[in-house]
Amino acid sequence: MEKIGNLLKQSVKKEIKITRWQEDALEACKKIPDSYKNKASIFRKFKEDSHLAKLALLDCKELNKLYSLYFFKVFNELKKLSTPPP
């Protein structure tokens, strides 16, 4: 039978790697008051294109429209402008 101290030494906590877009999405969720409804969608937008998501968040802050729906609207408009027509 092993001692409890030995068992505790064996169990090593694994570090979870957090990427930059996840940190940015978390900060955006903290800044947008109604983000609790659409938190997964905000994370998805940051994963899709973090640069455009940052620009959309900046636009929301400048216009003082910190709503998740406005964030999505700005992000989608920026996405349309950045993709070339077929």
Range of the domain at 27: 19-82
Burial level of 35, CB count in 10 A (0-12/13-18/19+)?
A: buried
Residue 59 belongs to some domain of the structure: yes
User: What tokens were used for 44?
Assistant: 């998805």
Residue 38 confidence class, pLDDT cut points 50, 70, 90: very high
Residue 4 belongs to some domain of the structure: no
Residue 37 belongs to some domain of the structure: yes
Residue 27 belongs to some domain of the structure: yes
Phi, psi of 16 (to 5 degrees): -90, 125
Residue 71 belongs to some domain of the structure: yes
Is 70 exceeded by the pLDDT of residue 7?
Answer: no
Residue 9 belongs to some domain of the structure: no
Average pLDDT, the chain: 88
Residue 62 belongs to some domain of the structure: yes
pLDDT, tens only, 47-77: 999 999 999 999 999 999 999 999 999 999 9
Total of domains in the chain: 1
Residue 11 confidence class, pLDDT cut points 50, 70, 90: low
Quick one: pLDDT at residue 10? 67
